Structure 1
Amino acid sequence: MTDLRALTDAFAELERRADAAVPAESRLRPSERPRSRLMPVAAGVAVLAGVAVAAAVLLPGRAAEPVAPAQAPTTTTTEAQAPAPLPTSHEELSDRFRAVLAGSATFTVTDTGAAKTITAPDKSGGEPVVTDNGAAIVGTLTAGGVTGGFDLGMYRDAQAADVDWCASHEACAVTVLPDGSKLTMGEFHHGGATPEGVTYMALRVRPDGVVIDMHVSNAESPKGNSGLLGATPPLTRDQLREIISSDLW
Protein backbone atom coordinates (compact mmCIF):
# COMPACT_ATOMS: atom_id res chain seq x y z
CA MET A 1 0.00 0.00 0.00
CA THR A 2 2.87 2.48 0.76
CA ASP A 3 4.44 1.98 -2.70
CA LEU A 4 1.09 2.39 -4.45
CA ARG A 5 0.33 5.64 -2.58
CA ALA A 6 3.78 7.05 -3.47
CA LEU A 7 3.22 6.15 -7.14
CA THR A 8 -0.17 7.94 -7.10
CA ASP A 9 1.34 11.09 -5.59
CA ALA A 10 4.14 11.13 -8.17
CA PHE A 11 1.69 10.97 -11.10
CA ALA A 12 -0.40 13.76 -9.53
CA GLU A 13 2.71 15.93 -9.27
CA LEU A 14 3.60 15.28 -12.93
CA GLU A 15 0.11 16.25 -14.05
CA ARG A 16 0.25 19.44 -11.99
CA ARG A 17 3.57 20.44 -13.52
CA ALA A 18 2.35 19.65 -17.03
CA ASP A 19 -0.69 21.90 -16.52
CA ALA A 20 1.47 24.74 -15.29
CA ALA A 21 3.69 24.55 -18.39
CA VAL A 22 0.77 24.76 -20.88
CA PRO A 23 -0.63 28.24 -21.76
CA ALA A 24 -3.90 28.95 -20.02
CA GLU A 25 -5.83 29.34 -23.27
CA SER A 26 -4.82 25.93 -24.53
CA ARG A 27 -5.67 24.13 -21.34
CA LEU A 28 -8.59 21.72 -21.53
CA ARG A 29 -11.53 22.06 -19.29
CA PRO A 30 -11.67 19.43 -16.59
CA SER A 31 -14.40 17.54 -18.43
CA GLU A 32 -12.30 17.40 -21.59
CA ARG A 33 -9.11 16.18 -19.97
CA PRO A 34 -8.13 12.61 -20.75
CA ARG A 35 -8.55 10.21 -17.91
CA SER A 36 -5.63 9.95 -15.60
CA ARG A 37 -2.93 7.59 -16.65
CA LEU A 38 -2.99 6.31 -13.11
CA MET A 39 -5.87 3.95 -13.80
CA PRO A 40 -4.13 1.77 -16.40
CA VAL A 41 -0.94 1.86 -14.42
CA ALA A 42 -2.73 0.90 -11.22
CA ALA A 43 -4.61 -1.82 -13.11
CA GLY A 44 -1.33 -3.09 -14.46
CA VAL A 45 0.11 -3.13 -10.99
CA ALA A 46 -2.95 -5.04 -9.75
CA VAL A 47 -2.65 -7.56 -12.58
CA LEU A 48 1.02 -8.07 -11.83
CA ALA A 49 0.21 -8.43 -8.16
CA GLY A 50 -2.45 -11.06 -9.02
CA VAL A 51 0.03 -12.95 -11.21
CA ALA A 52 2.54 -12.82 -8.40
CA VAL A 53 -0.01 -14.23 -5.94
CA ALA A 54 -1.01 -16.95 -8.39
CA ALA A 55 2.64 -17.78 -8.95
CA ALA A 56 3.11 -17.97 -5.22
CA VAL A 57 0.26 -20.47 -5.00
CA LEU A 58 1.17 -22.56 -8.05
CA LEU A 59 4.93 -22.37 -7.66
CA PRO A 60 5.82 -22.86 -4.00
CA GLY A 61 9.35 -22.37 -2.85
CA ARG A 62 10.00 -26.17 -2.95
CA ALA A 63 9.19 -28.06 -6.11
CA ALA A 64 6.36 -30.54 -5.69
CA GLU A 65 7.38 -34.16 -5.54
CA PRO A 66 6.34 -36.17 -8.63
CA VAL A 67 3.29 -38.28 -7.91
CA ALA A 68 3.89 -41.97 -8.47
CA PRO A 69 1.22 -43.74 -10.55
CA ALA A 70 -1.29 -45.73 -8.52
CA GLN A 71 -0.44 -49.37 -8.28
CA ALA A 72 -2.98 -52.16 -8.42
CA PRO A 73 -3.41 -53.95 -5.08
CA THR A 74 -1.40 -57.10 -4.75
CA THR A 75 -3.54 -60.22 -5.04
CA THR A 76 -2.71 -62.91 -2.55
CA THR A 77 -3.39 -66.45 -3.68
CA THR A 78 -4.82 -68.59 -0.94
CA GLU A 79 -3.14 -71.92 -0.73
CA ALA A 80 -5.32 -74.95 -1.24
CA GLN A 81 -6.55 -76.40 2.03
CA ALA A 82 -4.64 -79.53 3.01
CA PRO A 83 -6.78 -82.69 3.24
CA ALA A 84 -7.71 -83.92 6.70
CA PRO A 85 -5.43 -86.59 8.16
CA LEU A 86 -6.43 -90.22 8.27
CA PRO A 87 -8.93 -90.97 11.08
CA THR A 88 -7.42 -93.01 13.88
CA SER A 89 -10.65 -94.47 15.28
CA HIS A 90 -14.12 -95.52 14.16
CA GLU A 91 -15.57 -92.72 16.33
CA GLU A 92 -13.62 -90.14 14.37
CA LEU A 93 -14.68 -91.72 11.07
CA SER A 94 -18.34 -91.70 12.20
CA ASP A 95 -18.11 -88.01 13.09
CA ARG A 96 -16.77 -87.18 9.63
CA PHE A 97 -19.47 -89.26 7.99
CA ARG A 98 -22.19 -87.35 9.88
CA ALA A 99 -20.63 -84.04 8.83
CA VAL A 100 -20.62 -85.13 5.19
CA LEU A 101 -24.23 -86.35 5.30
CA ALA A 102 -25.34 -83.04 6.89
CA GLY A 103 -28.70 -84.52 7.89
CA SER A 104 -29.50 -86.02 4.48
CA ALA A 105 -29.33 -89.53 5.96
CA THR A 106 -28.87 -91.31 9.26
CA PHE A 107 -26.87 -94.42 10.07
CA THR A 108 -26.37 -96.97 12.79
CA VAL A 109 -23.00 -98.63 13.32
CA THR A 110 -23.12 -102.37 14.03
CA ASP A 111 -19.47 -103.27 13.60
CA THR A 112 -16.09 -101.52 13.51
CA GLY A 113 -12.48 -102.34 12.78
CA ALA A 114 -9.42 -101.39 10.80
CA ALA A 115 -10.13 -100.54 7.20
CA LYS A 116 -7.05 -102.34 5.96
CA THR A 117 -4.58 -104.61 7.69
CA ILE A 118 -1.00 -104.53 6.49
CA THR A 119 1.16 -107.55 7.11
CA ALA A 120 4.90 -107.17 6.65
CA PRO A 121 7.66 -109.72 7.29
CA ASP A 122 9.70 -109.23 10.42
CA LYS A 123 13.27 -108.34 9.47
CA SER A 124 14.57 -110.29 12.43
CA GLY A 125 12.88 -113.47 11.21
CA GLY A 126 10.14 -113.50 13.85
CA GLU A 127 6.38 -113.28 13.44
CA PRO A 128 5.05 -111.02 10.66
CA VAL A 129 4.27 -107.47 11.70
CA VAL A 130 0.56 -106.64 11.42
CA THR A 131 -0.39 -102.99 11.23
CA ASP A 132 -3.91 -101.60 11.35
CA ASN A 133 -4.40 -98.92 8.73
CA GLY A 134 -7.21 -96.39 9.05
CA ALA A 135 -10.71 -97.13 10.32
CA ALA A 136 -13.90 -98.79 9.10
CA ILE A 137 -17.56 -98.88 10.12
CA VAL A 138 -20.39 -101.19 9.07
CA GLY A 139 -24.14 -100.85 9.68
CA THR A 140 -27.43 -99.65 8.27
CA LEU A 141 -28.19 -96.34 6.58
CA THR A 142 -31.59 -94.70 6.08
CA ALA A 143 -32.37 -91.97 3.57
CA GLY A 144 -35.75 -90.88 2.24
CA GLY A 145 -37.49 -93.55 4.28
CA VAL A 146 -35.44 -96.36 2.70
CA THR A 147 -33.01 -98.45 4.75
CA GLY A 148 -30.12 -100.57 3.55
CA GLY A 149 -26.75 -101.86 4.56
CA PHE A 150 -23.51 -99.92 4.18
CA ASP A 151 -19.83 -100.06 4.92
CA LEU A 152 -17.30 -97.25 4.93
CA GLY A 153 -13.54 -97.28 5.29
CA MET A 154 -10.64 -94.83 5.14
CA TYR A 155 -7.08 -96.06 4.86
CA ARG A 156 -3.78 -95.24 3.18
CA ASP A 157 -2.64 -97.25 0.18
CA ALA A 158 0.07 -95.90 -2.10
CA GLN A 159 -0.81 -98.48 -4.77
CA ALA A 160 -4.58 -97.91 -4.83
CA ALA A 161 -4.47 -95.38 -7.68
CA ASP A 162 -2.96 -98.01 -9.97
CA VAL A 163 -5.56 -100.70 -9.27
CA ASP A 164 -8.31 -101.40 -11.82
CA TRP A 165 -11.27 -101.37 -9.43
CA CYS A 166 -13.70 -101.71 -12.33
CA ALA A 167 -12.48 -105.25 -13.00
CA SER A 168 -14.82 -106.65 -10.32
CA HIS A 169 -17.78 -104.29 -10.81
CA GLU A 170 -20.51 -103.67 -13.36
CA ALA A 171 -21.53 -100.35 -14.96
CA CYS A 172 -18.20 -98.97 -13.78
CA ALA A 173 -16.64 -95.61 -14.63
CA VAL A 174 -13.53 -93.73 -13.51
CA THR A 175 -13.30 -89.92 -13.28
CA VAL A 176 -10.93 -87.38 -11.79
CA LEU A 177 -12.22 -84.87 -9.24
CA PRO A 178 -11.12 -81.19 -9.14
CA ASP A 179 -8.67 -81.90 -6.29
CA GLY A 180 -6.95 -84.59 -8.37
CA SER A 181 -8.62 -87.55 -6.66
CA LYS A 182 -9.35 -90.62 -8.75
CA LEU A 183 -12.98 -91.71 -8.31
CA THR A 184 -14.30 -95.13 -9.33
CA MET A 185 -18.08 -95.71 -9.39
CA GLY A 186 -19.61 -99.13 -9.99
CA GLU A 187 -22.15 -101.69 -8.83
CA PHE A 188 -22.66 -105.44 -8.56
CA HIS A 189 -25.59 -107.82 -8.11
CA HIS A 190 -25.42 -110.36 -5.34
CA GLY A 191 -27.00 -113.38 -7.00
CA GLY A 192 -27.06 -116.63 -5.08
CA ALA A 193 -29.39 -116.49 -2.09
CA THR A 194 -30.29 -112.83 -2.69
CA PRO A 195 -30.65 -112.41 -6.47
CA GLU A 196 -32.48 -109.11 -5.99
CA GLY A 197 -29.64 -107.70 -3.95
CA VAL A 198 -27.70 -104.83 -5.52
CA THR A 199 -24.78 -102.83 -4.14
CA TYR A 200 -23.41 -99.48 -5.31
CA MET A 201 -19.70 -98.83 -4.83
CA ALA A 202 -17.69 -95.60 -4.71
CA LEU A 203 -13.92 -95.61 -4.19
CA ARG A 204 -11.91 -92.40 -4.08
CA VAL A 205 -8.13 -92.26 -4.04
CA ARG A 206 -6.86 -88.85 -2.94
CA PRO A 207 -3.54 -87.44 -4.21
CA ASP A 208 -2.04 -88.04 -0.75
CA GLY A 209 -2.75 -91.78 -1.08
CA VAL A 210 -5.73 -91.88 1.31
CA VAL A 211 -8.57 -94.11 0.11
CA ILE A 212 -12.26 -93.51 0.93
CA ASP A 213 -14.19 -96.67 0.13
CA MET A 214 -17.97 -96.99 0.56
CA HIS A 215 -20.67 -99.52 -0.38
CA VAL A 216 -24.41 -99.11 0.05
CA SER A 217 -26.94 -101.88 -0.64
CA ASN A 218 -30.59 -102.87 -0.42
CA ALA A 219 -29.38 -105.91 1.48
CA GLU A 220 -28.35 -106.02 5.11
CA SER A 221 -24.76 -106.67 4.07
CA PRO A 222 -23.36 -104.79 1.06
CA LYS A 223 -21.14 -107.81 0.29
CA GLY A 224 -24.12 -110.15 -0.17
CA ASN A 225 -25.34 -113.35 1.51
CA SER A 226 -27.86 -111.51 3.68
CA GLY A 227 -31.54 -110.68 3.73
CA LEU A 228 -33.03 -107.80 1.77
CA LEU A 229 -34.06 -104.59 3.56
CA GLY A 230 -35.66 -102.83 0.62
CA ALA A 231 -36.30 -102.86 -3.12
CA THR A 232 -33.45 -100.48 -3.84
CA PRO A 233 -30.39 -99.14 -1.98
CA PRO A 234 -31.16 -96.10 0.20
CA LEU A 235 -28.84 -93.91 -1.91
CA THR A 236 -28.71 -93.46 -5.66
CA ARG A 237 -25.41 -93.63 -7.48
CA ASP A 238 -25.41 -89.84 -7.87
CA GLN A 239 -26.01 -89.34 -4.15
CA LEU A 240 -23.21 -91.75 -3.32
CA ARG A 241 -20.90 -89.92 -5.67
CA GLU A 242 -21.71 -86.60 -4.00
CA ILE A 243 -20.97 -88.04 -0.57
CA ILE A 244 -17.61 -89.52 -1.53
CA SER A 245 -16.62 -86.36 -3.45
CA SER A 246 -17.13 -84.14 -0.38
CA ASP A 247 -14.14 -82.10 0.80
CA LEU A 248 -15.12 -82.74 4.44
CA TRP A 249 -13.38 -86.11 4.58
Structure 2
Amino acid sequence: MASLWNNCVMKLLDESSRLGHDYESYLEKVAIENKNLQAELSKRNEELKETKHDSQEKGYRIKCLEEKLSAARDGSGSTFNLNQLLQFAINKQPSVLDCIKVIEELYADRCTILESARSSAGELKEFRDARHLLDLLVRLVTTYRDRLMCGGDSEARKVFGRNQYAAKESETVMSNKAMRNLRTFNYHGKKVEMFHHLKIGVEEDSKKTIRVHFYWDANHHKIVIGHCGKHLPVPSH
Protein backbone atom coordinates (compact mmCIF):
# COMPACT_ATOMS: atom_id res chain seq x y z
CA MET A 1 0.00 0.00 0.00
CA ALA A 2 2.82 2.34 0.94
CA SER A 3 4.63 1.47 -2.27
CA LEU A 4 1.52 2.29 -4.32
CA TRP A 5 1.15 5.58 -2.49
CA ASN A 6 4.78 6.44 -3.11
CA ASN A 7 4.39 5.65 -6.80
CA CYS A 8 1.36 7.94 -7.02
CA VAL A 9 3.21 10.72 -5.26
CA MET A 10 6.20 10.33 -7.56
CA LYS A 11 3.98 10.42 -10.62
CA LEU A 12 2.26 13.54 -9.34
CA LEU A 13 5.62 15.19 -8.65
CA ASP A 14 6.89 14.24 -12.10
CA GLU A 15 3.71 15.57 -13.70
CA SER A 16 3.94 18.75 -11.65
CA SER A 17 7.56 19.19 -12.66
CA ARG A 18 6.70 18.62 -16.32
CA LEU A 19 3.82 21.08 -16.15
CA GLY A 20 6.05 23.59 -14.41
CA HIS A 21 8.67 23.21 -17.11
CA ASP A 22 6.02 23.50 -19.83
CA TYR A 23 4.64 26.63 -18.15
CA GLU A 24 8.09 28.21 -17.97
CA SER A 25 8.62 27.40 -21.64
CA TYR A 26 5.23 28.91 -22.42
CA LEU A 27 6.09 32.10 -20.51
CA GLU A 28 9.42 32.34 -22.33
CA LYS A 29 7.65 31.90 -25.65
CA VAL A 30 5.06 34.56 -24.74
CA ALA A 31 7.84 36.93 -23.64
CA ILE A 32 9.67 36.45 -26.95
CA GLU A 33 6.48 36.95 -28.94
CA ASN A 34 5.64 40.05 -26.90
CA LYS A 35 9.12 41.45 -27.51
CA ASN A 36 8.79 40.79 -31.24
CA LEU A 37 5.35 42.42 -31.30
CA GLN A 38 6.68 45.48 -29.47
CA ALA A 39 9.55 45.75 -31.94
CA GLU A 40 7.11 45.44 -34.85
CA LEU A 41 4.80 48.04 -33.28
CA SER A 42 7.71 50.42 -32.76
CA LYS A 43 8.75 49.92 -36.39
CA ARG A 44 5.21 50.59 -37.61
CA ASN A 45 4.97 53.73 -35.45
CA GLU A 46 8.22 55.04 -36.93
CA GLU A 47 6.95 54.31 -40.43
CA LEU A 48 3.71 56.12 -39.60
CA LYS A 49 5.64 59.14 -38.29
CA GLU A 50 7.73 59.23 -41.45
CA THR A 51 4.60 58.97 -43.59
CA LYS A 52 2.93 61.81 -41.69
CA HIS A 53 6.10 63.91 -41.94
CA ASP A 54 6.37 63.27 -45.69
CA SER A 55 2.69 64.08 -46.14
CA GLN A 56 3.01 67.30 -44.15
CA GLU A 57 6.14 68.31 -46.05
CA LYS A 58 4.41 67.70 -49.38
CA GLY A 59 1.48 69.77 -48.15
CA TYR A 60 3.85 72.62 -47.28
CA ARG A 61 5.50 72.42 -50.69
CA ILE A 62 2.14 72.52 -52.45
CA LYS A 63 1.09 75.52 -50.36
CA CYS A 64 4.40 77.22 -51.08
CA LEU A 65 4.06 76.65 -54.82
CA GLU A 66 0.43 77.81 -54.79
CA GLU A 67 1.45 81.08 -53.12
CA LYS A 68 4.27 81.65 -55.60
CA LEU A 69 1.93 80.91 -58.52
CA SER A 70 -0.70 83.26 -57.13
CA ALA A 71 1.87 86.02 -56.66
CA ALA A 72 3.13 85.52 -60.22
CA ARG A 73 -0.41 85.74 -61.61
CA ASP A 74 -1.47 88.93 -59.87
CA GLY A 75 1.95 90.58 -59.81
CA SER A 76 1.85 90.96 -56.04
CA GLY A 77 5.17 89.30 -55.31
CA SER A 78 7.53 90.41 -52.59
CA THR A 79 9.34 92.98 -54.82
CA PHE A 80 6.54 95.51 -54.45
CA ASN A 81 6.42 95.00 -50.71
CA LEU A 82 10.18 95.30 -50.37
CA ASN A 83 10.09 98.56 -52.32
CA GLN A 84 7.53 99.85 -49.85
CA LEU A 85 9.71 98.80 -46.97
CA LEU A 86 12.78 100.38 -48.52
CA GLN A 87 10.97 103.68 -48.99
CA PHE A 88 9.68 103.45 -45.42
CA ALA A 89 13.18 102.92 -44.05
CA ILE A 90 14.70 105.71 -46.16
CA ASN A 91 12.14 108.30 -45.13
CA LYS A 92 12.91 108.00 -41.43
CA GLN A 93 14.62 105.93 -38.78
CA PRO A 94 11.82 103.50 -37.86
CA SER A 95 11.14 102.48 -34.29
CA VAL A 96 10.87 98.84 -33.24
CA LEU A 97 7.09 99.24 -33.06
CA ASP A 98 7.07 100.76 -36.57
CA CYS A 99 8.84 97.65 -37.86
CA ILE A 100 6.30 95.34 -36.25
CA LYS A 101 3.38 97.37 -37.59
CA VAL A 102 4.61 97.51 -41.18
CA ILE A 103 5.40 93.78 -41.22
CA GLU A 104 1.94 93.02 -39.88
CA GLU A 105 0.31 95.28 -42.47
CA LEU A 106 2.22 93.99 -45.49
CA TYR A 107 2.41 90.31 -44.54
CA ALA A 108 -0.77 89.63 -42.58
CA ASP A 109 -1.29 86.42 -44.56
CA ARG A 110 2.13 85.15 -43.52
CA CYS A 111 2.47 86.18 -39.88
CA THR A 112 0.60 86.92 -36.68
CA ILE A 113 1.84 89.58 -34.27
CA LEU A 114 0.73 88.94 -30.69
CA GLU A 115 -0.13 91.77 -28.32
CA SER A 116 2.87 90.76 -26.21
CA ALA A 117 5.10 91.47 -29.23
CA ARG A 118 3.56 94.90 -29.77
CA SER A 119 3.92 95.69 -26.08
CA SER A 120 7.58 94.65 -25.91
CA ALA A 121 8.31 96.54 -29.14
CA GLY A 122 6.68 99.69 -27.79
CA GLU A 123 8.76 99.51 -24.61
CA LEU A 124 12.08 99.36 -26.48
CA LYS A 125 12.22 102.97 -27.66
CA GLU A 126 15.98 103.38 -27.44
CA PHE A 127 17.00 100.67 -29.95
CA ARG A 128 19.13 102.25 -32.70
CA ASP A 129 19.37 99.58 -35.40
CA ALA A 130 15.75 99.24 -36.51
CA ARG A 131 16.64 99.05 -40.21
CA HIS A 132 18.63 95.90 -39.46
CA LEU A 133 15.66 94.56 -37.49
CA LEU A 134 13.32 95.34 -40.38
CA ASP A 135 15.55 93.38 -42.74
CA LEU A 136 15.51 90.34 -40.43
CA LEU A 137 11.74 90.50 -39.97
CA VAL A 138 11.17 90.65 -43.73
CA ARG A 139 13.39 87.62 -44.24
CA LEU A 140 11.62 85.82 -41.40
CA VAL A 141 8.11 86.15 -42.85
CA THR A 142 9.13 85.71 -46.50
CA THR A 143 12.17 83.62 -47.44
CA TYR A 144 12.52 81.81 -44.10
CA ARG A 145 8.82 80.93 -44.00
CA ASP A 146 8.83 79.73 -47.61
CA ARG A 147 11.88 77.55 -47.08
CA LEU A 148 10.45 76.27 -43.82
CA MET A 149 7.37 75.08 -45.67
CA CYS A 150 9.37 73.53 -48.50
CA GLY A 151 12.39 72.09 -46.73
CA GLY A 152 12.17 72.40 -42.96
CA ASP A 153 14.17 74.46 -40.47
CA SER A 154 17.55 72.99 -41.42
CA GLU A 155 17.16 74.60 -44.83
CA ALA A 156 15.25 77.71 -43.75
CA ARG A 157 17.77 78.79 -41.11
CA LYS A 158 20.38 79.36 -43.84
CA VAL A 159 18.49 82.57 -44.63
CA PHE A 160 20.11 84.10 -41.54
CA GLY A 161 23.70 84.55 -40.51
CA ARG A 162 25.24 82.50 -37.73
CA ASN A 163 24.70 85.23 -35.13
CA GLN A 164 21.24 86.27 -36.31
CA TYR A 165 19.16 83.18 -35.52
CA ALA A 166 18.87 80.52 -32.82
CA ALA A 167 16.56 77.50 -32.88
CA LYS A 168 16.59 77.15 -29.10
CA GLU A 169 17.78 78.71 -25.86
CA SER A 170 20.77 77.74 -23.73
CA GLU A 171 20.57 74.72 -21.44
CA THR A 172 20.46 77.00 -18.39
CA VAL A 173 17.32 78.63 -19.76
CA MET A 174 15.71 75.40 -20.98
CA SER A 175 16.14 73.77 -17.57
CA ASN A 176 14.79 76.75 -15.63
CA LYS A 177 10.99 76.85 -15.30
CA ALA A 178 10.86 80.58 -14.56
CA MET A 179 12.97 81.38 -17.63
CA ARG A 180 10.82 79.12 -19.83
CA ASN A 181 7.70 80.88 -18.58
CA LEU A 182 9.11 84.22 -19.73
CA ARG A 183 9.33 82.73 -23.22
CA THR A 184 5.79 81.35 -23.14
CA PHE A 185 3.02 83.33 -24.81
CA ASN A 186 -0.74 83.09 -25.17
CA TYR A 187 -1.77 82.12 -28.69
CA HIS A 188 -5.34 81.13 -29.57
CA GLY A 189 -6.07 80.52 -25.90
CA LYS A 190 -3.08 78.21 -25.41
CA LYS A 191 0.32 78.65 -23.80
CA VAL A 192 3.00 78.33 -26.47
CA GLU A 193 6.74 78.23 -25.77
CA MET A 194 8.77 80.27 -28.24
CA PHE A 195 12.43 79.36 -28.12
CA HIS A 196 13.22 80.13 -31.77
CA HIS A 197 14.49 83.68 -31.94
CA LEU A 198 16.21 86.30 -34.05
CA LYS A 199 18.94 88.30 -32.41
CA ILE A 200 20.86 91.50 -32.86
CA GLY A 201 23.66 92.29 -30.43
CA VAL A 202 25.01 90.39 -27.43
CA GLU A 203 25.39 93.25 -25.00
CA GLU A 204 22.91 94.30 -22.33
CA ASP A 205 22.79 97.76 -23.90
CA SER A 206 19.20 98.09 -25.17
CA LYS A 207 20.37 100.58 -27.80
CA LYS A 208 22.24 97.78 -29.55
CA THR A 209 20.47 94.58 -28.53
CA ILE A 210 17.08 93.08 -29.38
CA ARG A 211 15.45 89.64 -29.49
CA VAL A 212 12.49 88.41 -31.57
CA HIS A 213 10.89 85.22 -30.25
CA PHE A 214 8.58 83.39 -32.62
CA TYR A 215 6.67 80.17 -33.25
CA TRP A 216 5.81 78.32 -36.46
CA ASP A 217 2.08 77.59 -36.69
CA ALA A 218 2.16 74.66 -39.10
CA ASN A 219 -1.64 74.42 -39.27
CA HIS A 220 -2.13 78.00 -40.45
CA HIS A 221 1.26 78.34 -42.19
CA LYS A 222 2.12 81.44 -40.20
CA ILE A 223 5.06 82.85 -38.28
CA VAL A 224 3.74 83.90 -34.86
CA ILE A 225 5.80 86.60 -33.13
CA GLY A 226 5.37 86.68 -29.36
CA HIS A 227 8.19 89.02 -28.34
CA CYS A 228 10.09 91.77 -30.12
CA GLY A 229 12.05 93.72 -27.57
CA LYS A 230 14.71 93.56 -24.89
CA HIS A 231 16.80 90.46 -24.34
CA LEU A 232 14.68 88.31 -22.03
CA PRO A 233 16.27 87.47 -18.66
CA VAL A 234 18.57 84.47 -18.29
CA PRO A 235 19.63 82.77 -15.01
CA SER A 236 22.96 84.62 -14.88
CA HIS A 237 21.27 88.05 -15.04
Give the TM-score normalised by the residue count of structure 2: 0.31
* Greater share of residues in helix: 2
Rg larger in 1 or in 2?
A: 1
Structure (1/2) with the larger strand percentage: 1
Q: Which has the higher contact order (CA 8 A, sep 6+)?
A: 2
